[in-house]
Structure 1
Amino acid sequence: AWAEVANFERQKVKTLEALETTLNQYTQFEKSTLEQVNALRQQILSLNVDHTDIAQLQQIEKMSKELIHSLNVVVENYPELKADTLYG
């Protein structure tokens, strides 16, 4: 019985190590995404409204596309539940 407890605890350590790796990767992704958003924001804010700069606009478009492609957004359409109106 004690061996089972020890094995269970060892399995928790393995799981926590794997979780730590995953969290570190996620943290790096979040940091990178935030840096990209901030860089894009700075590029947009530095646009001169009195002077047309096609190269800068192309750079902004490129940065926007790269950022959008790096994001994975899942949207689900849940039904609107109305059972509460039947009993209210």
Structure 2
Amino acid sequence: MSTSILVILAIVVLLFVVIISIYNGIISRENAVKRAWADVITQERQKNKTLPHIEQIASQHQEFEQQVQSNIAALRSAMGKLDSTTPDTAALAAVEQQSKQLIQGMHIAVEAYPDLKTSSLFNNLMREISEQQDNVGAAIRLFNQNVEDFNNGISVFPNVLVNAWFLRKQAVDTFRDNDAEAGFDYRPNI
């Protein structure tokens, strides 16, 4: 064989290897986009499954504390009606009964709920909501990065030729939030 045939054969083999490499790169980047989108959906699903349970617990705590506050207010009102100059044993008995019920209810509640501060529960709820939203935001950023890599992978030369000849993949849209964009006056001229 002549050297020119070997050179041509080497160029053909090299071209074939480059095409396969580009082809596989496009497929890999497309799969990364799909995986990143699945991660976004997973984070949203996690948020949507977690938050209602947290809100339900917070609501139950709030209802309990509102009931305790109402009972305390009723007890204070009943105590305010007691007259120090005129003994009223029936009124005193009613106040004592209300006191016992309030203390017994709080004792049971303290055993069931060691920390009865709804404000801290709501702070924890807000922290969890914020963390869940941060996770979704991070997943969206990863998705958009993978979309950019994929779109670049099918747009640059010579990848654009391999894509046009063999794959015919279309560019993927990045995630956009129209509400967030509406908050900016600046629009890049790209």
Normalised-by-shorter TM-score class:
0.7 to 0.9
| Cα distance in 2, alignment partners of residues 35 and 26 from structure 1 | 14
2:104 to 42, 45, 69: 69
After TM superposition, what 4+ stretches of structure 1 lie above 6 angstroms from structure 2? none
- TM-score where L is the length of structure 1: 0.75
1:6 aligned counterpart, secondary structure: helix
1:14 to 49, 68, 85: 49
* Structure 1 residue aligned with 2:74: 39
1:47 aligned counterpart, secondary structure: coil
How high is the sequence identity, in percent, across the aligned residues? 35
| Cα distance in 2, alignment partners of residues 14 and 70 from structure 1 | 32
Which of the pair is proportionally richer in helix?
Answer: 2
CA radius of gyration, larger in: 2
Structure 1: 5+ residue stretches without partners: 75-88
How much has 1:5 moved relative to structure 2? 2.8
Q: Which has the higher contact order (CA 8 A, sep 6+)?
A: 2
Structure 2: 5+ residue stretches without partners: 1-34, 115-190
What is the count of residue pairs matched by the alignment? 74
Q: What whole-Å deviation, never above 9, does each CA across 1:42-64 have from its counterpart, x for those lacking one? A: 11111011111111111111111
1:23 to 58, 63, 70: 58
* Structure 1 residue aligned with 2:38: 3
| Cα distance in 1, alignment partners of residues 43 and 59 from structure 2 | 24
| Cα distance in 2, alignment partners of residues 25 and 48 from structure 1 | 37
